[in-house]
Each structure stands twice: as C-alpha cells, then as structure tokens.
Copies of this chain bind each other. A is one copy, B any other.
Amino acid sequence: MFRFTVTATDGRARTGVLETPSGPVLTPVFMPVGTQGTVKGIDVHALAEIKSQILLANTYHLLLRPGPELVAKLGGLHGFAGWKGPWLTDSGGFQVMSLGHLRKITEEGVEFRNHLNGDLVFLSPERSIEVQEQLGADIIMAFDECPPYPASREYLERSLERTLRWLERSLKAKTRKDQALFGITQGGVELDLREKSTRETVKFDLPGYAIGGLAVGEPKEKMLPAVELSTRLLPEDRPRYLMGVGHPEDLVAAVALGVDMFDCVYPTRTGRFGYALTDEGRLNFNSARFKEDPRPIDETCDCLACRVHSRAYLTHLVRAGEMLGAVLLSLHNLRYLHRLTERMRRAIQAGRFAEFALAFAEKRFRGKTPAWFRYALKAGGHL
C-alpha cells in the first residue's frame, strides 16, 4: 500500500516512485499547498491538467474550520475537497508556532488561541494524529516543535529532544494502517544537533522522513549544509521531504543533494501578488514593463496562461485587480515548479543532472552563481 522505490540516481540526486493508497507519486515532486483544503483559486480539474501529483493540507487550519469530524463524515480530504489523488497533511506543529496566539508549550503539547474565535485549543502528538486520521491523508506527519531562526543551541537541543519524544507518542497514537507516518528532524542549522536529531529519528524505521525547521529565515549558506548532512544520514530507500521549500533554485540545489519532496505556498502566494516564475527569475506584472508584450510568460510552458495569454493581458489583469490574474499566475507558477521537477527527473534518468543544473544556474543567476548553489552541486557529486 505504501512503498518507495528509487528508480535512478545521478550523483546524490535520485528519481523514485512513492506508492500510496491513492496512487503513485513520481519524485522529485513539488506538492501544492491546499491550506484550508483548497489550493487557493485553483480547481481540482486544473490541478490535474497541470499534472499535480499530491496535495498538502494543513491540520491546524482544518482543525479550526470546518473541523475534522465534518471532513471525515464527507469522506476525508479526498471526498471533502474532491481531489482523489494522494494527500499529505502536516501535523499542525508549524502553524501553531507561526499563527497561534497566546500559545503555551509544555511537554504534554501546545495550548493556543483559535485565531478565528479566540477559543482555547489544545494540540498534542495524540490529538494531532487523531485529527490527521480523521482528515484521512495518505501521508501524515509526526507532531513536532519547529523552533524559529535564530534560536539558542539550548532551545534547539531541548526542542529536538522533545520532538523525538513527541514522535514516539505520535507513533503510539496512530491506529490507521492505511496512512504512512513521516518523522521530522530538527536541530536548526547546528550541524551536530541536526545530526543527533536525524540519527535518533532514523532509529524509528519510518516510511519517510522530513527535514524540518529549515527555510525559516536562515541564510542559504547555512541551510544547504544542513540539508546535505540530513540526506547523507537518512536511509537511501526512504523518501526525503524538505518542508516549506519552493524557490526554484532551492529545489534544484536540494535535489542535487538527494531530496525527493517539497511543499511551499510560494508559487500560489507570489502568483496572487502578481509575479510569474521563470528560469530567469520572477516577472513582475504589477509593473508596466510587460504592458505591450505580446509573448507568453514562458514560450516553453504548456499551462493555460502560457498557451492562451500574453504578458500584456496578464499585466492588464493584475493592474486592474482582476481575480483571473491571481488564478492564472498561480496556475502558471505551480506548473512551472511541476515542470522543473519533471525536467530534473528526466535529467537524472539520463545521467545529465550536472548539465541541467549548470544550465539552470546560468539562466537563473546570469553568470553570478552563488557559492551555496555550487556547494550543493559539488556536495551532491555533480561537479
């Protein structure tokens, strides 16, 4: 029901197939974020058309509204939201930290104020798993404590220890057999703590592992070595999920190091703000720059926005505040990241990942490839 098979490797980069009860997922994969059970503005028909494979939903948001009992009653996320392919739910740990008001963290769990109505809500490993079982995703996440950046070594250490104890409690709380539970490593960018967290987490012999607590504000020069250490210590035969990462250049660098899965609100959020992702960087449709440009966002893209519309029209939509601008740019940006992973999969399978990554860097950084990107390629065995 749940199995991961590496299908090709190139240096430390790899392609794989992740089998889930709702169908297979080809990795590397980018997972669109459907925070409240909907990828903002994009219907499930359009998601299928741009070849989304697996969606992510947030336990925190769905716990507060509409409530997990209702989602369960309507067939879990698959029935409730109408996306019949694979789902992944996070544990709520990250949102409790970033959104919860008046939160109080104890060994037992986290008490916080519902940001919608002020009610006191309690989330613990047991409660998080209970809610995730009701939501019914194919992949569920252990309840973790995600420290901010920067955080003291003492805090990072206490927090990673607690995350390990919470992982154990998450596993004990789990009752459904048709969901795979991933553990989450912590330790910030302190490499010895990251190593400790990873080695201890791996002992639980889980179907997959997430690298947590990164992409929270630390510089890339610190993030990439933490990713490098993580993928080195994680087992070859399990999927590796780098949480919250969605910038194109970060995807390429992390895939170089052997990461398989990604999620981020970035493509939809930046789309709503009027930006389109391309290999050359973001195009800003709030400006007048593309006002009369008859070309599509990207000649090579097969999304609806690129097949049908000009940059001039998109500029008009964004500047006129038309909802369709947000919809089309979100759609393009998701398709861009899906295509980026497709291109990486093909490159890995052809043994040409280095070539792909260097060509990508040439376009993206215009001859000024940053040291952290070259570091990732080198550490990944591509240079």
A residues with a Cβ closer than 8 A to B are: 36-45, 65-66, 70, 73-74, 80-82, 291-292, 294, 304, 308-310, 312-313, 315-317, 319-320, 322-324, 326-328
CA distance A36 to B314 in the complex (A): 12
Check A40–B309 contact: CB distance below 8 A.
no
How many monomers of this chain does the complex have? Answer: 2
Contacts of A322 in B (CB 8 A): 36, 38, 40
A41 touches B308 (CB 8 A): no
Interface pair A316/B41, CB less than 8 Å apart: no
A81 — which chain B residues lie within 8 A by C-beta?
A: 313
Q: Is the CB of B70 within 8 A of A324?
A: no
- Closest residue of chain B to A315 (Cβ to Cβ) is B66
| A45–B304 alpha-carbon span in the complex (Å) | 8
Q: Which residues of B contact A309 (CB under 8 A)?
A: 82
Q: Are A323 and B74 in contact (CB under 8 A)?
A: no
Known: A74-B310, A74-B312, A82-B309. A41 touches B304 (CB 8 A): no
Residue of B nearest to A62 (CB): B316
Among B36, B70, B319, B324, the residue within 8 A (CB) of A42 is B324
Q: Which of B80, B304, B319, B320 contacts A313 (CB 8 A)?
A: B80
Q: How far is the CA of A272 from the CA of B308 in the complex (A)?
A: 25
Roughly how many angstroms separate A304 CA and B45 CA in the complex, as a whole number?
Answer: 8
Closest B residue to A316 by beta carbon equals B66
Is the beta-carbon distance between A291 and B323 smaller than 8 angstroms?
A: no
Give Cα A82 to B309, complex, Å.
6
Pick the residue among B44, B292, B316 that contacts A36 (CB under 8 A). Answer: B316
- Which of A40, A80, A315, A324 counts the most chain B CB atoms within 10 A? A324
Residues of B within 8 A of A40 (CB): 322-324
Task: Report yes or no: B324 in contact with A74, Cβ–Cβ below 8 A.
Answer: no
Identify the closest chain B residue to A321 (Cβ).
B36
A324 close to B43 (CB less than 8 A): yes
Beta-carbon contact of A308 and B70 below 8 Å: no
